[in-house]
Amino acid sequence: MKLNIKRFINNKTFFEEFNVDFKEDETILELLERIRDNKDRSLTYRSFCRSSICGTCAIKVNDKTVLACKTKVKDLIQNDELIIEPVDRAKIIKDLVVDHSFIEDKIKKVKGWFVDEINEKEENIQMPDELKKYDKQTDCILCGACYFECEALDFEKNFAGPFAFTKVFRFVFDSRDKMDDQERIEIAKENLLYNCISCQKCAMVCPKNISSVMDIKMLQNFDKNPPFGDNFNNFF
């Protein structure tokens, strides 16, 4: 099997080719470990949990953003070849490692946290029927895969991005959250909620099967004050 890995070292970008055995059940992460341990100790990539939980290992393989620890080589190999690159729309630090600080920045911009009045004597109970409304969205591991593929960002860098709006959805539909729902939506609009161009890429790559584009549409439908003026995206 021919493996091409895009390297970035000392401000130089180049592809390095390796010839390796194809192993049926190997994950992309295991393949990278094999290369690093046996062929090139300087190869740099990021991983931690190895089980699709920490969200750190997103990379691009044969032009698709995937979690390296979740994806098998056999599912992406084409013509006995794999091309592994860092993800798009992020600053590369070294080889396959990109700067993840934008994730925290975007969450801060949309105020993506729970607002509550803390009562230490009583549990803040959530009923199963209420939980169902946003249960799927709580699966987000902030891996950024949806963001790295999001085409709206090519038109407007200030677009908060799919995962940030999924986070807004999660709190708008959580009955325990004390921030006013419309206030949350207004903050989402300041971060260009209506700039989504419905390319569906976020839903196609999410390793947790979350459809951020659907979350965005739901938030737009829930908006009591939709902007049909300047801010509204003309792609529709």
- Tell whether residue 112 is a contact of ligand SF4 (CB under 6 A): no
Q: Position 191: which residue type?
A: N
| 73/140 with CB nearer ligand SF4 | 140
Q: What is the 3-state secondary structure (H, E, C) of 222-233?
A: HCCCCCCCCCCC
Where on the chain is the footprint of ligand FES (CB under 6 A)? 47-50, 52-57, 67, 69
DSSP category for residue 144: -
Q: Is 201 in the site for ligand SF4 (CB under 6 A)?
A: yes
Amino acid identity of residue 221, one-letter, is N
β-strand partners of 69:
none
Stretch that binds ligand SF4, among 26-34, 37-45, 87-95, 208-216 (CB under 6 A): 208-216
Binding of ligand SF4 at residue 107 (CB under 6 A)?
A: no
Is 46 a binder of ligand SF4 (CB under 6 A)? no
Residue of 197, 218, 222, 233 that binds ligand SF4 (CB under 6 A): 197
Residues ≥6 apart with Cβ < 8 Å to 98: 86, 87, 90, 91, 92
- In the chain, the N- to C-terminal Cα span, in Å, equals 44
Strands 97-98 and 92-94: antiparallel
The region of 7-15, 80-88, 115-123, 161-169 touching ligand SF4 under the rule CB under 6 A is 161-169
Task: Give yes or no for residue 144 binding ligand SF4 (CB under 6 A).
Answer: yes
- Residue from 29, 84, 193, 213 binding ligand SF4 (CB under 6 A): 213
Containing 6, the helix (H) or strand (E) segment is: strand 2-9
Q: Which CB, 9 or 53, lies closer to ligand SF4?
A: 53
Residue 94 pairs in a beta bridge with 97
Footprint on this chain of ligand SF4 (rule: CB under 6 A): 140-146, 149-152, 162-163, 166, 196-202, 206-208, 210, 212-213, 216
